[in-house]
Amino acid sequence: MRVAFQGEPGAYSEAAALEHFGGGTETVPRESFEAVFAAVEAREVECGLVPVENSLAGSIHRNYDLLLRHSLSIVGEQYLRVRHCLIAQPGATLAEIRRVLSHPQALAQCEGYLRSLGDIESAPAYDTAGAVKMLRDLGDRAGAAIASRRAAEVYGMQILAEGIEDDPSNFTRFLAIAREAVSPAGESKTSIVFTLQNAPGALFKALSVFALREIDLTKIESRPLVGKPWEYLFYIDCAGSTKDAMMTRALDHLSEYALTLRVLGSYARQRLDSPS
Amino acid sequence: MRVAFQGEPGAYSEAAALEHFGGGTETVPRESFEAVFAAVEAREVECGLVPVENSLAGSIHRNYDLLLRHSLSIVGEQYLRVRHCLIAQPGATLAEIRRVLSHPQALAQCEGYLRSLGDIESAPAYDTAGAVKMLRDLGDRAGAAIASRRAAEVYGMQILAEGIEDDPSNFTRFLAIAREAVSPAGESKTSIVFTLQNAPGALFKALSVFALREIDLTKIESRPLVGKPWEYLFYIDCAGSTKDAMMTRALDHLSEYALTLRVLGSYARQRLDSPS
């Protein structure tokens, strides 16, 4: 099984892919999210795994846009707890570290920890795993990078500290995408995107199709459509699969109100109370 | 009037503050969003302006968290069209540029344009305005930065190209925060945050308090509460002000269903169909 992800080997996306598809998976790095979608479409890989939501940073609209633009299906979800490590050369000690390199978002998420180290200079990098790779290539003993445990392993570097993020409730939700939709057995989720005329009560009517059938919603998000001030785009995740008759009826009912409706896929549900 | 914003002089947040409060405003840079909230709380400034939503990147949960943690009120909103410029030394020409420096997100948003320039190396920076400042200090004629028109003006640099973002529907929504709530005249909006027990139909009931009174919603977003798998947090913006009797009744009604409810403020509404 080949799975594409965005970033360098050792990226959090790669860790999520291995968690989701299992250790024997062949992970295939791609430069951009767009390239991940393109690789799935062109059959270079069987699946792709892309982040769509971080508990601190919010939804990643870009990947929802790409889902809309490509005719692929969501076939799974994976929550990954983001556990940042301080990574340095083998043999280096914490006392030697003078510089810390990482993606600006990772540096911001470890601000408190970095302050506690005293006089440390921090420098921005494109991505977390790339910072570890750069550090290894430089061989700089006074430098450290913030990245995943996996990044340290991939580049043969040393972990000086683990779990250094200021807010421990930092997790990212990833979606697995493939060319063919799946029919999940057991507890499942369905993701849809639809647009509504902007009128009082329009969303209430739309949600009634789920509430009247006691279908639970697990995510809802509105997004104004730029250039179309009277239309709104909504993302909804709901409990259940499109192979359930109740869900099919709810979606038929919704299409009576929605200007456009697209089912992105049904897939096995991972409970957020047990993120890995 | 003193208004705090996050970033270096010339940041998009500063441009939004000047747009919102007028050209005579004294803008006060702060290192972090937290420091913006703290400056308002400590009366160092009258207001703060923080981004809460970008049309491509999504909601900035961090600032919603800070709104919840501090007892400040939302007193205004400002949409800013993000129009990236390619900025270089005075006198430099596009043909001379070999390196482009900016925040990774800005570099990603101009990927297509940068590719069209041919063999250009791009390098990450902490923030867009900071990249322009660094470039000026280095005096590097082969280097350019991606930032706002205002950043070029602040640091006396030259704009080689404007509007270089790949997706023109790139805008950011900012909220103005202050110690005291305001009572807006004319068309207004109210922002609230509430939590619900996770049960089928809970959100439908909550939205009924607005739909039954024909109060229009302009934004809705759910957010799972980490560590509390049975509770959801919702952000809602709705049309109207808390000084309207209908709104007061709707919020009273909502408090019957909500586990917690906080009104973040009522403020004058800016129409998204005419973002500045």
Taking CA atoms, B199 is separated from B31, B120, B169, B204, B258, in Å, by: 41, 53, 36, 10, 12
Rounded to an integer, what distance in angstroms lies between the CA atom of residue A184 and that of residue A258?
26
Partner-chain contact B171 A273, CB within 8 Å: no
Q: Mind listing the pLDDT tens digit for each residue in A146-164?
A: 999 999 999 999 999 999 9
How far is the first Cα of chain A from the last one, in angstroms, to the nearest whole number? 21
Catalytic residue among A21, A172, A190, A210: A172
Partner-chain contact B58 A55, CB within 8 Å: no
Are B109 and B86 spatial neighbours (Cβ–Cβ below 8 Å)?
A: no
Are B254 and B206 spatial neighbours (Cβ–Cβ below 8 Å)?
A: yes
**What's the CATH number where B134 sits?**
3.40.190.10
> Is B174 marked active-site?
yes
**Residue B74 phi, psi dihedral angles, 5° rounding:** -80, 130
Partner-chain contact A220 B222, CB within 8 Å: yes
Query: Which helix H or strand E contains B33, and what residues bound it?
Result: helix B33-41
Domain identity same for B46 and B91? no
**What's the CATH number where A206 sits?**
3.30.70.260
Rounded to an integer, what distance in angstroms lies between the CA atom of residue A269 and that of residue A100?
37
Cβ-Cβ contacts under 8 Å, B229 against chain A: 271-273
- Which residue of A lies nearest to B270 if distances are taken between CA atoms? A229
- The three state secondary structure string of chain A is CEEEEECCCCCHHHHHHHHHHCCCCEEEEECCHHHHHHHHHCCCCCEEEEEEEECCCEECHHHHHHHHHCCCEEEEEEEEECCCEEEECCCCCHHHCCEEEECHHHHHHCHHHHHHCCCCEEEECCCHHHHHHHHHHHCCCCEEEEECHHHHHHCCCEEEEECCCCCCCCEEEEEEEECCCCCCCCCEEEEEEEEEECCCCHHHHHHHHHHCCCCCEEEEEEEECCCCCCEEEEEEEEECCCCCHHHHHHHHHHHHHCCEEEEEEEEECCCCCCCC
Cβ-Cβ contacts under 8 Å, A108 against chain B: 32
Determine the average pLDDT of the residues in A222-248. 85
Does A8 score more than 80 pLDDT? yes
B260: how many CB neighbours lie within 10 A of its CB? 12
Domain identity same for A58 and A174? yes
Domain identity same for A7 and A71? yes
Among A152, A178, A204, give the residue marking a domain's end.
Answer: A178
Are A74 and A67 spatial neighbours (Cβ–Cβ below 8 Å)?
A: yes
Q: How confident is the model at residue A274 (pLDDT cuts 50, 70, 90)?
A: very low
Are A219 and A175 spatial neighbours (Cβ–Cβ below 8 Å)?
A: no
> Is A174 marked active-site?
yes
Q: For chain B, what is the radius of gyration of the CA atoms? A: 21
Higher pLDDT, B252 or A61: B252
- The pLDDT, as a whole number, for residue A210 is 95
Q: How confident is the model at residue B228 (pLDDT cuts 50, 70, 90)?
A: low
Is A144 a domain residue?
yes
Nearest Cα neighbor of A194 from A269, A122, A255, A107 is A255
Scanning B234-263 for CB atoms below 8 A from A yields: none
Catalytic residue among A174, A194, A210, A234: A174
**Residue B24 phi, psi dihedral angles, 5° rounding:** -80, 0
Cβ-Cβ contacts under 8 Å, B247 against chain A: none
Residue type, B47: C
Domain identity same for A72 and A126? no
Query: Which helix H or strand E contains B68, and what residues bound it?
Result: helix B61-69
As a whole-number percent, the residues of chain B with pLDDT over 70 amount to 96
Nearest Cα neighbor of A201 from B207, B177, B128 is B207
Determine the average pLDDT of the residues in B87-109. 92
Domain identity same for A28 and A67? yes
Is B276 a domain residue?
no
Nearest Cα neighbor of A215 from A184, A259, A185, A245 is A245
Domain identity same for A45 and A174? yes
Nearest Cα neighbor of B219 from B210, B229, B231 is B210
Cβ-Cβ contacts under 8 Å, B103 against chain A: 104, 124
Highest mean predicted confidence (pLDDT) among A170-179, A196-205, B106-115: A170-179
Is A274 a domain residue?
no
Rounded to an integer, what distance in angstroms lies between the CA atom of residue A183 and that of residue B6?
47
**Residue B213 phi, psi dihedral angles, 5° rounding:** -110, 10
Rounded to an integer, what distance in angstroms lies between the CA atom of residue A35 and that of residue B37?
39
Is B183 a domain residue?
no
Partner-chain contact B273 A55, CB within 8 Å: no
- The pLDDT, as a whole number, for residue B276 is 42
Is B58 a domain residue?
yes
- Burial-class residue B248 by CB neighbours within 10 Å (0-12, 13-18, 19+): middle
Scanning B61-120 for CB atoms below 8 A from A yields: 61-62, 65, 103-104, 108, 111
Domain identity same for B76 and B174? yes
Q: What is the ipTM of this complex?
A: 0.79
Determine the average pLDDT of the residues in A81-98. 95
Domain identity same for B14 and B55? yes
Query: Which helix H or strand E contains B174, and what residues bound it?
Result: strand B171-178
In chain B, how long is the greatest CA-to-CA distance?
Answer: 65
Q: Provide the whole-model pTM.
A: 0.85
- Which residue of B lies nearest to A235 if distances are taken between CA atoms? B221
Domain identity same for B260 and B203? yes
Bridge-based pairing of strands A26-30 and A158-162 is: unpaired
Is B152 a domain residue?
yes
Show Cβ contacts of residue A256 under 8 Å, excluding neighbours closer than 6 positions: none
Partner-chain contact B215 A227, CB within 8 Å: no
- Within an 8 Å CB–CB cutoff, is residue A216 touching chain B? yes
How far is the first Cα of chain B from the last one, in angstroms, to the nearest whole number? 21
- The pLDDT, as a whole number, for residue B64 is 87
Is B273 a domain residue?
no
Domain that holds residue B96: 85-161
Partner-chain contact B226 A201, CB within 8 Å: no
Is B119 a domain residue?
yes
**Local structure of residue B227 (DSSP, 8 states):** T
Q: Count structural domains, chain B.
A: 3
B167: how many CB neighbours lie within 10 A of its CB? 14
Taking CA atoms, A25 is separated from A7, A19, B208, in Å, by: 17, 10, 47
- Mean pLDDT over each residue of chain A, to the nearest integer: 91
Among A101, A128, A162, give the residue marking a domain's end.
Answer: A162
Q: Mind listing the pLDDT tens digit for each residue in A175-233?
A: 999 999 999 989 999 999 999 987 778 899 999 999 999 999 989 988 877 666 567 78
Rounded to an integer, what distance in angstroms lies between the CA atom of residue B254 and that of residue A26?
50
Among B126, B161, B196, give the residue marking a domain's end.
Answer: B161
Does A31 score more than 70 pLDDT? yes
Domain identity same for A11 and A76? yes
Taking CA atoms, B205 is separated from A154, B159, B243, B246, B250, in Å, by: 50, 53, 23, 17, 12
- The pLDDT, as a whole number, for residue B274 is 47
Domain identity same for B120 and B249? no
Domain identity same for B44 and B174? yes
Q: Which two tokens stand for residue B262?
A: 């906080």
